[in-house]
A and B are shown apart, each in its own frame.
Chain A
Amino acid sequence: AQSVAQPEDQVNVAEGNPLTVKCTYSVSGNPYLFWYVQYPNRGLQFLLKYITGDNLVKGSYGFEAEFNKSQTSFHLKKPSALVSDSALYFCAVSPFSGGYNKLIFGAGTRLAVHP
């Protein structure tokens, strides 16, 4: 079965420190990979995506993600965390190339950045 795993329910980071939010996937073929962020009582905001090319992709708000095909991972990173980054982060996979397909989401990871 196709699935996305976010192994950590919550990640705690001190402001100014680097952060990593982990994501692994089990999907056949060459999927498109996405990260979304959700603030309280808001919809999902697109952060970044990997389709092809350079394994390190850069997105909004200073976030980046590294695609690792052999480990089927797509971890979200940021060099220096801000308190305002505290939110719920979702990794998602679109199983088929072409993009017009449903997203399979991970369960989400709550990021808490402490001052």
Chain B
Amino acid sequence: GAGVSQSPSNKVTEKGKDVELRCDPISGHTALYWYRQSLGQGLEFLIYFQGNSAPDKSGLPSDRFSAERTGGSVSTLTIQRTQQEDSAVYLCASTLRDTQYFGPGTRLTVL
């Protein structure tokens, strides 16, 4: 596709369940970022992957959050034992050179 895609677009889960969010970056983009957008916190950086380098995990809010990027392309953000405060829109972006291009996001609702 032409842009960054994310799935699912919406996810409703129960507190305590694990969820996986997927991001397909733009083909050829070498860097991939995850952000979280919530009412109280605005847009927050979570994690970034650049080529074969170790990811920058400095934005992950707790050890319940993890992410991986397989084959330098698709990335999965996993949230274990979800809490209600995890409810937010999770945005993925990929980068070629200077500009980050964002996907449509996954809206996560934890009941």
- Point out residues on A near B: beta carbons under 8 Å: 32, 34, 36, 42-46, 49, 51, 90, 92, 94, 99-108
Contact = CB atoms under 8 A, between A and B. Distances in A.
A24 to B, nearest CB: 16
Interface in B41-69: 42-43, 45, 48, 50, 56, 59
Contacts of B31: 100
Interface residues of B, number: 23
A102 B33 contact: yes
Contacts of A90: 43
Given A102-B48, A105-B43, A43 B98 contact: no
A76 B56 CA distance: 30
Interface of B: 4, 31, 33, 35, 42-43, 45, 48, 50, 56, 59, 91, 93, 95, 97-105
19 contacts: A32-B98, A34-B99, A42-B104, A43-B4, A44-B93, A46-B100, A51-B98, A99-B95, A99-B98, A100-B31, A100-B48, A100-B50, A102-B59, A103-B35, A105-B42, A105-B43, A107-B42, A108-B42, A108-B43
A100 B102 contact: no
A43 B97 contact: no
A45 B103 CA distance: 9
Contacts, number: 52
Contacts of B33: 102-103
A44 B106 CA distance: 13
